[in-house]
Amino acid sequence: SGEQFQLGDIRAPQADTLHAGAAPFFHEAKRRLADLLGAASLEIADIAPATRWRERIVTVRISGDDKTLQERLVDSGGARVAPHSDQLALIDRLLEAERLARRERRGLWSLSAYRVFNTQSANAAIGGSHLVEGGVLRAALAKGRFFLNFGSDYRTDFTGTVKTSLYRKWARDGFDLAGLEGKHVRIRGFVESINGPSVTLAHPRQIEMMSAHQS
């Protein structure tokens, strides 16, 4: 029909990255998607407003399958979770599927390019979408934003930031970032260089509380 679709709440290796061509595991992920689709009949549902390029953001289920296409891709290691929509139950299932795939080093998780960075090594993650894990040293509002600082020097250490309006909304919804101070967490998103490596948070599921049994 000429329509374009984007599978919501996941991120597959990109076809092109700046100056680098296809990202690691791009071709394998594309084949996994093709294998899943085959000649299948699809059930497509919109879960977020279309992009400015008129791509529909959707969840897709192959008829007769009890899991979404997103879950199948994440489960096989063909994509990572990238929370975007308000479909929190789906995102939680995707996160659990990703944890299992990562633990068993399926697909892209077998490559060092997609390793989980710790906050001390986060400089190496700048310029890409990654998972970064560490202890929150300080959680506080400052200069119109809420900051999760993972080191004593905010000019060089890893930081997660969120707009004040979003911080307050999340707090009203029962997720107060101030309570993360002293906690061990994992943050996912695009790592920029802003006074050291930094991730701008726009969705509460970009932050995962870590426990001893998680990986």
Q: CB neighbours (10 Å) of residue 25?
A: 21
Q: Which residue has the higher pLDDT, 143 or 185?
A: 185
Residue 197: partners with Cβ closer than 8 Å, 6 or more residues away: 122, 123, 125, 126, 132, 158, 159, 191
- Average pLDDT (132-145) is 95
Give tens-digit pLDDT for 78-126: 999 999 999 999 999 999 999 999 999 999 999 999 999 999 999 999 9
213 — pLDDT class (breaks 50, 70, 90): very low
- Average pLDDT (164-173) is 97
Whole-number percent of the chain with pLDDT over 90: 88
Q: Is residue 65 left, alpha or beta, with left meaning phi > 0 and alpha meaning psi from -120 to 50?
A: beta
pLDDT of residue 15: 81
Q: State which amino acid sits at residue 176.
A: D
pLDDT > 80? residue 141: yes
Residue matched to tokens 């791009």: 26
17 — pLDDT class (breaks 50, 70, 90): low
